[in-house]
Chain A
Amino acid sequence: MTLYDKIMTLYPSLTQEDFLTVIRLQNDSDGKGDYIAKWEHPTLARPTDEELA
């Protein structure tokens, strides 16, 4: 399950527009995997590491 899939499981109301504007998932192709580069959603809290584990 990708990071995106995990976030969508936590917050199924998120839209593709959210991921282009207030949220940015990023992968720098450095072997460290996907991560949350930006989380500026006005109402949903940034998921914790435990929630994404």
Chain B
Amino acid sequence: MSSVVISGDSSGTVTLTVPSAAGTNTATLPAATGTVMVSGNMPAFSAYASTPQTVSNSTATKVLFQTEEFDTNNNYSSSRFTPTVAGYYQVNAVVFISQTTQADTTVWVYKNGSAYKRGFGLTATSTKQQMTMNCLVYCNGSTDYIEIYVYSDGTGSATVDANITTTWFQSCLVRTA
């Protein structure tokens, strides 16, 4: 016969709450060991650029996303995401850039100050480019942090667009460590 064992090293209580509506519900635990994910330990944030930003040509430049839409664990600050829960994070970013001359552009995820993953880059067919970035990043829940950088080659100047719909940065925990 299977059994449920609840144990812990410190005092306190664990409360399992069932829905107040009548009915039968079944929660099946998988045959695996790991950490249960509840909303309280799943950091998530979204931010967007609210001020245009000038980018030097052929220079990987950190993109500033000045305005938060939400930040459930207060892990986002100064355009940097430093999650305090160890695990694997889905990272998404879109950057819209305008240039004075046509140029190739690339968006990067930086981890701890170094290039980690290179996102979708565009070849120069227009002076306006919108790039996307999606990847998974492991963060240790203490010192690891994530930022977004953009690169635009060519001879002219470039400006990151400030708009909630066109230049934004998001991340959320998808699996604990």
Contacts and interface: CB of A to CB of B under 8 A. Distances in A.
A7 to B, nearest CB: 9
State the majority secondary structure of interface residues on A: mixed
A28 B114 CA distance: 11
Nearest to B115: A24
Residue of B55, B59, B79, B149 most packed against chain A (CB within 10 A): B59
Interface string B45-74: 000000001011111111110000000000
Nearest to A15: B153
Contacts, number: 45
Interface residues of B, number: 19
A2 B79 contact: no
Interface string B97-108: 000000010100
Interface in A25-53: 25-30, 34, 37
A2 B153 contact: no
A27 B64 CA distance: 11
Contacts of A20: 106, 151, 153
A9 to B, nearest CB: 13
A13 interface: no
A3 B58 CA distance: 9
A34 B56 contact: yes
Given A16-B153, A19-B153, A24 B56 contact: no
A8 B56 CA distance: 14
Contacts of A30: 62
Given A27-B56, A29-B79, A16 B61 contact: no
Given A4-B57, A25-B56, 6 more contacts: A2-B59, A16-B153, A20-B153, A27-B61, A29-B62, A30-B62
Q: Which 9 A-B pairs have the closest CB atoms?
A: A25-B59, A29-B62, A27-B61, A4-B58, A2-B56, A19-B58, A16-B153, A26-B60, A28-B62
Interface of A: 2-4, 16, 19-20, 24-30, 34, 37
